[in-house]
Structure 1
């Protein structure tokens, strides 16, 4: 086989290694050059793509006694001790390396072309699916998968610092961050290269779009946007507090300290109250002011069933307030909502006695505040109570409606029912956990639909159990 008559190496030739590789070189070149490859421990054809002739013959420039015969066969040694490769052998090696590198470049080119064809096929399939979806629905309803894949391919052609993301992809990434949390988002970002923006970009997006909440701030301007999105100006407001772990932190954006219980003025927590550059004032706060042991949350909900709730305000609290603070807080929310063109229908809370007292005062239930006019806006409700409801006491005109959280009430009834130290009275009868245990053990599940985990008193927030235990 003459190497100069060979135009291209085949794939089988490129995959040769060990003895097959040496036998091929002996036939293609000559025995002496094959021995040189063996001396250099070059064992496969593909490795020649990154090797030069000087690297191959470098061993012959060193004074090695065992290679004297090979040196005489392949070249000449001058009087100054330098080795010179015979021109014919050099031409053979150059031709071999050219063929190997040419084949390697062709393989890379074919690989890139194949990737491009696959990419074009994906684009065509994506475009076809997009057209089918667009013809059957509105453009706004197109699944995020299509623009997401398209965005990924565009980013793969760029360096990391030039990645770009459409508005729809940024909103999708923001939802992943909100629902999944920081750890979940970072895990997806690491394992889906170029698919999701960096988490610092999301934090900037949150700040620019006012998604970040500031403690004690009532977001009435965003509440107006929320009502527009739901196309309903009537809202119901709920309020509750949950215990939290006390922790004081510094917020650089608002230049204030978070975690201290903000004082109430007319029932309202003071916005950005803990801002100071005086160390002594800061020390007095730490020594004298309570840390927040509860998070108080105000939620607004449009009367449309399909609309999501909206966080109106959140702040830390020491749970030290009175019924009049609650009432003033509600009136503030009511009046500010009217300014925004919204009508608060009512308020919902748990069974705290201070909330119940505020409800009684506002609904004039056996009590009324003489210095507080609830009807100055002339927009009260007229409630028609049936005449036969002699047992139902309520004023006909009401500014608000009130409701205790039904899930909260149902959960409390369940916890009382499952208590081992208390009985739940129903008329002249009492019921406790023993009655439910007897029911589960003596009757079929088809009759009561209960399972043993429903009777676990430690699971105090199991609302699904409440539904099964209710008659």
Structure 2
């Protein structure tokens, strides 16, 4: 047995599942600390990425290396060992059974995917969380079931829902039909979306769902943002809410949108609405951006839509402030701390900010802030030295 083959045996079998800190710790122990820092700087976080990079070390235009030759040699030797291990794995997977192999062993060797992924038990904790392993394990289990008895992992269901939304129904069906058992049907996905309350109702503020989402990522501090973007004016019927959408949203006395206002069974009433109300030219969206205090590899800060509705271009700065006050108070009731409001430089948003700060601006007719000492108070942890 050659020296290189002996070194291959020292590499762990599950090395190809290492990623991020686990991969860096192994490289640091096996190759060296300097080599590990070079990989970290270039965001090479697993074996697959390392083998696809043409040259790990930095090379100037005149082909001179900007690292020591010994460091580059160590990294290149490590890459060569990984390539040899990869080739040996391919040989072990593709080699045919020997003449002395029993029928049971023949059956096991034919199922090469099953040898790489144990479909009955979990491998190590980190490898089992990789999406490709979850997808393949789910597919292999469905291959043993009938078509009308397919079952899908929650992670696969979530991926399929997002994939269909991004790629479209036709592209999704093309992939699903050609990979039978890997992705759920369109009907199954529709039921899944309804069960998770995926649909957003116009004018509804989803503070309850927002609290559940923030609880899932362990966040109690958020930024609130509001912005409007132009849309094609069109009135349509929503069969789920039995309402017409596309009219300019009616506001109540607190300048909040009225839910399910355009709901009728009368054709005359609908005709009257077309005469009395303009079609919305903008869609106004309220977002909540979580701030994570305990950052982990599994938690990510993603914005959450709490409300969306159609508007025209006739709202004022006082309307904006009333909505901010409403969002702030509702979040306080849910034990969520709003630490700031994020807006663009629209004149009404900008004036609303100046009014709240008392920055050379005030409302001559409506007093919104006097007497409310705790209103819009920013309550943040004492260790946030960077915030102010």
TM-score normalised by the chain length of structure 2: 0.62
Report the counterpart of residue 278 of structure 1 in structure 2: 266
* Distance in 1 of aligned mates of 2:132 and 2:270: 51
* Distance in 2 of aligned mates of 1:324 and 1:128: 60
With over 3 angstroms needed to count, the CA separation of the structure-2 counterparts of 1:259 and 1:116, relative to structure 1, is: farther
Report the counterpart of residue 122 of structure 1 in structure 2: 113
Q: Deviations over 1:283-309 (max 9, x none)?
A: 112232111221111111122385111
Does 2:359 match 1:365?
yes
Report the counterpart of residue 211 of structure 1 in structure 2: 198
* Distance in 2 of aligned mates of 1:334 and 1:199: 39
RMSD value over aligned CA atoms? 3.0
Does 2:310 match 1:316?
yes
With over 3 angstroms needed to count, the CA separation of the structure-2 counterparts of 1:113 and 1:319, relative to structure 1, is: farther
Aligned pair count? 269
Aligned runs of 1:342-357 on 2, under 5 Å?
342-357=336-351
Q: Which has the higher helix share?
A: 1
* Distance in 1 of aligned mates of 2:140 and 2:317: 59
The alpha carbon displacement at 1:131 in A equals 5.5
Aligned runs of 1:243-254 on 2, under 5 Å?
243-254=230-241
With over 3 angstroms needed to count, the CA separation of the structure-2 counterparts of 1:155 and 1:380, relative to structure 1, is: closer
Structure 2 counterpart SS, 1:346: strand
With over 3 angstroms needed to count, the CA separation of the structure-2 counterparts of 1:225 and 1:279, relative to structure 1, is: same
The alpha carbon displacement at 1:272 in A equals 1.1
Structure 2 counterpart SS, 1:332: helix
Which runs of no fewer than 5 residues in structure 1 stay unpaired? 1-111, 384-400, 402-471
With over 3 angstroms needed to count, the CA separation of the structure-2 counterparts of 1:198 and 1:326, relative to structure 1, is: same
Report the counterpart of residue 282 of structure 2 in structure 1: 294
The alpha carbon displacement at 1:164 in A equals 2.1
Report if aligned partners of 2:225, 2:342 keep a CA contact under 8 Å in 1: yes
Report if aligned partners of 1:130, 1:146 keep a CA contact under 8 Å in 2: no
Report if aligned partners of 1:292, 1:317 keep a CA contact under 8 Å in 2: yes
The alpha carbon displacement at 1:191 in A equals 2.5
* Distance in 2 of aligned mates of 1:347 and 1:183: 40
Which of 120, 134, 137 is the equivalent residue of 1:147? 134
Q: Deviations over 1:176-231 (max 9, x none)?
A: 22443434323322332221111222121111111211111111011112222332
The alpha carbon displacement at 1:175 in A equals 2.7
Report if aligned partners of 1:267, 1:327 keep a CA contact under 8 Å in 2: no
Q: Pick 1 or 2: higher relative contact order, CA cutoff 8 A, min separation 6.
A: 2
* Distance in 2 of aligned mates of 1:257 and 1:181: 25
With over 3 angstroms needed to count, the CA separation of the structure-2 counterparts of 1:138 and 1:333, relative to structure 1, is: farther
Structure 1 counterpart SS, 2:183: coil
The alpha carbon displacement at 1:146 in A equals 2.3
Q: Deviations over 1:49-104 (max 9, x none)?
A: xxxxxxxxxxxxxxxxxxxxxxxxxxxxxxxxxxxxxxxxxxxxxxxxxxxxxxxx
The alpha carbon displacement at 1:130 in A equals 7.5
The alpha carbon displacement at 1:335 in A equals 0.9
Does 2:322 match 1:325?
no
The alpha carbon displacement at 1:334 in A equals 0.8
Larger-gyration structure (1/2): 1
* Distance in 2 of aligned mates of 1:128 and 1:207: 30
TM-score normalised by the chain length of structure 1: 0.52
Aligned runs of 1:5-404 on 2, under 5 Å?
117=108, 120-127=111-118, 132-134=123-125, 137=126, 142-265=129-252, 266-304=254-292, 306-369=300-363, 371-373=367-369, 376=372, 378=374
* Distance in 2 of aligned mates of 1:189 and 1:235: 38
* Distance in 2 of aligned mates of 1:124 and 1:281: 67
The alpha carbon displacement at 1:165 in A equals 1.6
